[in-house]
Amino acid sequence: MHIYVLLKQTFDTEEKIVIENGAVSDDGVKFVINPYDEYAVEEALQQRDSHGGKVTVLSVGPGRSAEALRQALAMGADEAVLISDERIAADEGAAAAALEAFLSSQPFDLLLGGNFSVDSGGGQVAVRLASRLGIPHAASITSLEISGSGAVVKRDAEGDTETLELSLPALFTAQQGLNEPRYPSLPNIMKAKKKPFQTLTLDDLGLAEAPPLTERVSIALPPERGAGQILKGAPAEQAAKLVELLRTEAKAI
C-alpha cells in the first residue's frame, strides 16, 4: 500500500503572535508539525504496519519545513518529499496545485492529512486536492478501517458521528481522537537522517507557476478586551443600562 501524508509546518500553538508591517512575524518563533497532521502521520504508520507498504510524508512550504518532515521520518515514515519554490503562492489553491502536479505521477492508495492547520484554519488544501485528483474524500475522521479496495470511516459531524464507506484510492483528513501520535525514539531519530528525502521545485513538477486563488487583504490582532462593568439597581434599571451600553459603546444594536 502506497500511503502519502500531507504535512504542514506551523507555529507552536504556545507562541505569541506578533504582527509587523501587516504580516505575522516569525522572528525567533518555534515551528512544529501541525498538530492535526500528527494524527495523520500516526494513522499512516498504523495502516502501513497492518497492511504493508510505504509511508511518504509530503509538504509544500519553505526550506524550514524540512524540520517537520524529518520529525515525521523519526516517527517512522519511510520517505519525505518537500516541494519548495518561491513561485508557489501562500494560498490553499496554490498548494493543492503543486501537490496535484506531484501526486498525479505517483502511485497511491491512501492520502491522509490534518483536518485543518492551526495557523490559517482554512482546511481547504486536502479537499481541493481530492477534487483535482478526482478521488473520494472524507474530512474530520475519527476512525479508519481498510479492507481490500475499500475503507469505512467514522467522521465528526457537528457533534454527531457519521459513518461512510468509500473506495480506494481516497483522501481522509484526521480529527483529534483518531489516535494518539507516538513520540520519536532516539534510535528512530538517528535512522531518520539516512532515509530518502527529496526537495523539488515547480520546474521538477513541470509547472511554471502556482498562482493564488485568494488574496489576503489585511491581518490584525483582535482588540484588547476592556474592563467589565457591574450593573446596579433594580432589574428594570439594569436592563435599561445594558441596552444603552450595547447601543452606545458596544455598537451591537
Residues 129-157 pLDDT 10s: 999 999 999 999 999 999 999 999 999 88
For the purposes of burial, counting CB atoms within 10 Å of the CB of 196, is it exposed (0-12), middle (13-18) or buried (19 or more)?
exposed
Residue 216: per-residue pLDDT: 80
Instruction: Examine the domain organization and report whether 30 and 129 are in the same domain.
Output: yes
pLDDT digits (tens, 9 = 90+) for 216-228: 887 887 778 778 8
Residues 124 and 67 in one domain: yes
246 in the same domain as 129: no
What pLDDT score does 30 carry?
Answer: 87
What are the tens digits of pLDDT across the range 16-71? Answer: 778 777 777 777 788 899 999 999 999 999 999 999 999 999 999 999 999 999 99
Q: Please check whether residues 62 and 181 belong to one and the same domain.
A: yes
Render the chain in DSSP notation, one character per residue: -EEEEE--EEE-TTSPP-EETTEE--TT--EEE-HHHHHHHHHHHHHHHHH--EEEEEEES-TTHHHHHHHHHHHT-SEEEEE--TTB-SSHHHHHHHHHHHHTTS--SEEEEES--TTT----HHHHHHHHHT--EEEEEEEEEEETTEEEEEEEETTEEEEEEEESSEEEEE-TTS--PPPPPHHHHHHHTTS-EEEE-HHHHT-S-B--SS------PPPPPPPP----S-HHHHHHHHHHHHHHTS---
Q: Is residue 82 a part of any domain in this protein?
A: yes
221: in domain? no
The pLDDT, as a whole number, for residue 156 is 87
60: β partners: 83
Per-residue pLDDT at 214 exceeds 90: no
- Whether 145 maps to a domain, the answer reads yes
Residues 194 and 91 in one domain: yes
Verify that 163 and 58 share a domain, yes or no: yes
Q: Residue 1 pLDDT more than 80?
A: yes
Q: Is residue 86 pLDDT above 80, yes or no?
A: yes
214 within a domain of the structure (yes/no): no
Rounded CA-CA distance 126/100 in Å is 10
User: What is residue 29's predicted lDDT score, i.e. its pLDDT?
Assistant: 81
Does the residue 218 lie in any domain?
A: no
Work out the burial of residue 39: count CB atoms within 10 Å of its CB; fewer than 13 is exposed, 13-18 middle, 19 or more buried: buried
Same domain, 132 and 76: yes
23 versus 235: which is more confidently predicted? 235
Domain enclosing residue 252, as ranges: 226-253
Q: Has residue 162 got a pLDDT over 90?
A: yes
Q: Quote the number of domains for the chain.
A: 2
What CATH number is associated with residue 45? 3.40.50.620
243 part of a folded domain: yes
Looking at the fold, whether 181 and 249 belong to one and the same domain comes out as: no
In tens, the pLDDT along 164-209 reads 999 999 999 999 999 999 999 999 999 999 999 999 999 999 999 9
Cell numbers at residue 85, please? 519554490
**Domain presence at residue 20:** yes
The number of beta carbons lying within 10 Å of the beta carbon of residue 1 is: 17
Q: Are residues 168 and 246 in the same domain?
A: no
Tens of pLDDT, residue by residue over 87-126, are 999 889 999 999 999 999 999 999 999 998 888 788 899 9
* Mean pLDDT of the region 71-97: 96
pLDDT for the residue 94:
95
Residues 138 and 107 in one domain: yes
Residue 213, in any domain of the structure: no
Answer yes or no: do 69 and 140 share one domain.
yes
Q: Give the pLDDT mean for 1-26.
A: 84
Which pTM was predicted?
0.86
Question: Do 238 and 183 belong to one domain?
Answer: no
